[in-house]
Amino acid sequence: MRVAIVGIGGVGGYYGGKLAHRFPPGSEHDILFLCRGAHLEVVRQSGLKLITKGGEILARPALATDDPVALGSVDVAVFTVKGYDLLDSARSMRPAVRPDTIVIPLGNGVDNDEILREGLQTGVVLSGGVYISTHIDVPGTVEQTGGNCKLFFGPPEGDIEPFRPVEAMFKAAGIDATLSQDIRRDVWGKYIFIGPMSGVTSMFGLSLGQVLGDPEKRGMLAGLMREVESVARAQGVRLQDGVVDEAMARAASFPPDTKSSMQLDVERGRKTEVDTMLGYVVRKGSELGVPTPLHAQAYAALSRGVR
């Protein structure tokens, strides 16, 4: 298969790096990187250095380019860009995506598949996500800093069996990948944690441990999670009972000094995924008649750049 990894940042660098290391040029799969700038130049010249909890590897893709047309026609397109870049990235990838191309988003949002369908206007669009913390250390080097590295993906509806070869490819590369029987449940199961956690830590400039140690902030975190649960259930998502308690327990399992990636973006004055993490819930809640006052509060504050 010809597999394009769209965006070789932290997430794309980890999973794309694992794939390119296992399937170097001339292997049964061609792993193609779409990236840009200084990062692209180093990858072209020296390969991608991936630093993981299990050691370091050097990955050389079959092609690294900033031009989607140069990718040619691909069998699989894995999108790992931030939510605010997803629609434009999808539009740019139209020349490489056929009607039978399998498209997999691995971002934080719960509507990534909808955005990709709008942007691509073709392809077999799945949904998916990951549990990982990574970043570009220096151009050409991606470092994993946390997370269990699990990847999950699947079709929003219909038979999952046609996508077994993709799952097998991921697993052959040493990726802990699962082809999900209920991808909507799994994507929302992550979102109910990552969205509220990102919102509270970013809004108040506090680590996760500080949030959990403050009764008022802890209550807001749980309240945001309950709003996400309400919006999900209103759309027929089959979340398990006790999902908020489980998400709060997951938060408590992180090191107390943990900062969300969105919080770091706020601190560094960079563009954030506030629309992906919070704005979506506000809009969808309004559409469905589900109150989301805490999300509205956090979204308004962070959209103004105010803590």
My answer on whether 168 and 26 are in the same domain is yes
My answer on whether 195 and 220 are in the same domain is yes
The CATH number of the domain where 282 resides is what? 1.10.1040.10
My answer on whether 11 and 134 are in the same domain is yes
Q: pTM (2 decimals)?
A: 0.94
Contact 155, 129 (CB under 8 A): no
My answer on whether 153 and 206 are in the same domain is no
Q: What is the pLDDT of residue 254?
A: 84
My answer on whether 132 and 204 are in the same domain is no
Domain boundary among 165, 181, 197: 181
Closest CA to 210 of 218, 199, 219: 218
My answer on whether 41 and 175 are in the same domain is yes
- What number of other Cβ atoms are within 10 A of residue 188's Cβ? 23
Dist. CA 143–CA 135, nearest whole Å:
6
Domains in the chain, number:
2
The CATH number of the domain where 124 resides is what? 3.40.50.720
Residues in the chain, pLDDT under 50: 306-307
Domain boundary among 131, 155, 181: 181
Domain boundary among 181, 201, 218: 181
My answer on whether 119 and 196 are in the same domain is no
My answer on whether 256 and 296 are in the same domain is yes
Dist. CA 212–CA 220, nearest whole Å:
10
My answer on whether 149 and 8 are in the same domain is yes
In terms of residue numbers, what domain contains 264? 185-303
Q: What is the pLDDT of residue 307?
A: 42
My answer on whether 49 and 153 are in the same domain is yes
Dist. CA 100–CA 127, nearest whole Å:
16
Q: What is the pLDDT of residue 305?
A: 63
My answer on whether 30 and 139 are in the same domain is yes
My answer on whether 31 and 151 are in the same domain is yes
